[in-house]
Amino acid sequence: MEGVSNEVAVCAVRSLVALAEHRGLGDILEGGGLTEADLTERRRVDWDMYVPLVDRFVVRAGGLDVATRLATDLHLGGGVLDWVLSSRFAPRRLYAQACALAPRAWRNLEVTLTPDGEALRIQARLTSGVGSEAFFHISRSTLESLPAHAGLGRATVVARVVTPMGATWRVSNPPNPNAEPDAASGSTLASRRRLDAQERAAQASEAWRLTPTETLVLVEIMQGASNKDVGLELGMAEATVETHLTRVFRKAGTQGRAAIISRVWSDAW
């Protein structure tokens, strides 16, 4: 769990750094407490290391409004969260996944999600550490663009409360006509996506010389499954799943779910 949590935090930092560089805002790591070596070697990234980067990004962008708009463009175009999301998910499941993920990256962050009529009420608060109103303003961009990971339009997000220590949002999002149904009738889209994942994983398996079990694990994580879900599906312990994933990463010459999934779906085999 520790490794996955830090991977999420490192991904958040890398995404912000890449966005700043892409927009001509310079290297926001420069002069801070984090270095490229920290990210490359997957050293622990803490909240108090991340907040100064957010503040520096906002200042260089020219203010919160511009920074939030740039962050929205990042999420809509970059697929940063694709490793935990899947187009077979309904928007509410997308938000549930994201709300569960954030506290794993930042341990001092609590996030709750509750139904609010046809919408969702999402509340986030810091339990310790330095406050950051900029972080919560920019987080709105994530909430707005999240349905894009399911091939949908942007959500409508109304910020009810935003302070340096937390925020509350009301999120209204479009329905996903392709969402996997809860009934046992099955889903053509989900079945098609699984077949696509199996085909791509088979090609990767041949290229990277994966074992049959490693290939099965790869198929599951390509569809957004957690280690626990993979273990339940394949009848193995979470620790065993992690061992197989580590071997897949090594054979592919990459690190992390985001990188491996991106390669499998995008590489021309």
Q: Would 177 be classed as within a structural domain?
A: no
Whether 114 and 7 map to the same domain: the answer is yes
pTM of the predicted structure, to 2 decimals: 0.58
Q: 3-class DSSP state for residue 130? A: coil
**Among the three residues 143, 172, 201, which one is the final residue of a domain in this structure?**
172
pLDDT 10s digits, 48-104: 888 888 999 999 989 988 888 777 765 544 444 443 444 445 667 678 777 877 887
Whether 153 and 208 map to the same domain: the answer is no
Can you state the angle between helices 91-105 and 2-22, rounded to 10 degrees? 100
Place of tokens 């626990």: 228
Domain of residue 29: give its range: 2-172
**Among the three residues 140, 172, 204, which one is the final residue of a domain in this structure?**
172
Evaluate whether 267 touches 222 at the Cβ level (below 8 Å). no
Q: How far apart are CA 53 and CA 34, in angstroms?
A: 9
**Among the three residues 112, 144, 172, which one is the final residue of a domain in this structure?**
172
pLDDT 10s digits, 138-149: 888 888 877 765
Whether 214 and 162 map to the same domain: the answer is no
